[in-house]
Chain A
Amino acid sequence: MNTPALAAPVTAQGFKSDYKPIWCPGCGDYSVLSSFTKAFAKLGLRPENVAVVSGIGCSSRIPAYTTCYGFHGVHGRSLAAAAGLKLARPDLTVVVASGDGDGYSIGGNHFLHACRRNVDLTYVVMDNHVYGMTKGQPSPTTEPDWDSKLSPGGTGLRTFNPLVIALAAGANFVARAFAGDPNGTAELIAEAIRTPGFSFVEILSPCVTFRPEQREWKQMVRPASVKSTDDAARAARRIMTDDGMNIGVLYKGERMPYQPPIGKGRKRPSDLETEFAL
């Protein structure tokens, strides 16, 4: 019997594909990509055991830049595709990449129910408070008074608070990271992957093209002064009262992930075909 040789660990570089990222110079998403690959290497994963799923937008380009399996899907529907994949192939590590427009607006409803279902996924949202790919429209996390050509005087609309919404909807792990801290972000992503259930990591990722003032974020972010809690109400209170610049794990629960038994009731493709026969 041949014993397969132990495969060498894959380095962060080994998780990067040969495609050069197409983002604006200075975009925070470059560092997020680096954090993804560092997190995968840190966890000792292999590209063939990881799937990166995304929707549409600047952030959603990430799957192509990794050597993992990738699915660049439909706008706002990345979580639906990822949940299906994880339920069918629980052996895979499934990481979902999204942005504030894709994730909170077009995909807002999927976000709520993904938190509620608690499938074992890691959902990473690169939040820059703007639709960058389509040239700077306000997104759900844009400040109400952000004045721009496309929203003169600001939208006047209250911002979406994704972390507290994730908590209320049942996410099992909630963290906030900053793209300018790639090693810290890699650590948070790794912890999110390690934690069973639906893990949500919001990454403040500056858009220097449409929101040049976000360059200041690196002076504004700080490690959260309190340790993470498993009390959702306490975590919610903290998140509701912070200024959105506290970095770290904010909530870590112990809910069992949703995973129906594999094999039971599973049909062959030919059985499915007969069901759909006209």
Chain B
Amino acid sequence: MSTKKSTKKSTKKSVKKSLKKSVKKSAKQSSRKNTAKAAAAAKRKAVKPVARPKRAAAPVASNAEFMAHAYAMETEAAERYAEFADSMEMHNNLEVAELFRKLSRIEQLHADQILEQMGWRQSPISVANVRWEGTEGPETADPTELHYLMQPYHALQIALVNEKRARDFFAHLAKVTRDAGVRKGAREMEEDEAEHVRLIEAWLKRTPKPDANWKTDQDPPVLSD
């Protein structure tokens, strides 16, 4: 039992450490500046993460089931960030690609932490079989928020929305569940997510804001005439 606790502590510590490290590092990095003039005004709206409605939890009957859902949530989030990183890499936006890669690693650490905590080699519920009330897990980023010229600030805005949604999800679950074990687990998760929210907010404060013309591309790929 004590081993479990100490493993949980050390993994949590490493997650926090990696987040904090990223915050510091990003402060040193200069943001990619788009110096292009506003030639063709971008038609699309600025990347503005949309808060999806808070989702009620799927009915979870036990702590193990709850943790399996939490694991699915973290795994889905990690996979989505990795997908974003690949996409940005293919569009030569390497700075943002690296940031998404980092976020993916952090979410994967959270998922691994759950496995360790539960003493599982793998989750008893396959991630593909977990269904949410919405179409995706509360911490999964919305792909339609991406833009090939986006900057680290935008990526962090997306991450912030996801962390807030995860925090609210666990808070809601803790409120509605009748199972004491699930309530305790949900409260712990809520605290973790709240801390991630604070860390990302701090990270955002240290990250340069993009200028107004960040989306302007002198050679836009959508030119059709």
Contacts and interface: CB of A to CB of B under 8 A. Distances in A.
Contact of A136 (B90, B146, B224): B224
A186 interface: yes
A102 to B, nearest CB: 19
Contacts of A221: 135
Nearest to A27: B143
A26 B136 contact: no
Which size class do B's interface residues fall under? Answer: 20 to 34
A180 B136 contact: yes
Interface stretch (B2-10, B124-132, B165-173, B194-202): B124-132
Contacts of B150: 25
Interface in B128-185: 128-131, 135-136, 142-148, 150
Contacts of A27: 143
B99 to A, nearest CB: 14
B224 A149 contact: yes
A135 B145 contact: no
Given A26-B145, A149-B224, A149-B225, A183 B91 contact: no
A99 interface: no
Contacts of B79: 34
A25 B222 contact: no
Interface string A17-49: 000111111111011001000100110000000
Interface stretch (B19-27, B81-89, B209-217): B81-89
Q: How large is the interface on A (under 10, 10 to 19, 20 to 34, 35 or more residues)?
A: 35 or more
Given A26-B144, A135-B224, A42 B126 contact: yes
Contacts of B136: 180-183
Contacts of A150: 224-225
A181 B146 contact: no
B44 interface: yes
B69 to A, nearest CB: 13
B121 interface: no
Among B129, B130, B144, B145: residue with most chain A CB under 10 A: B144
B87 A25 contact: yes
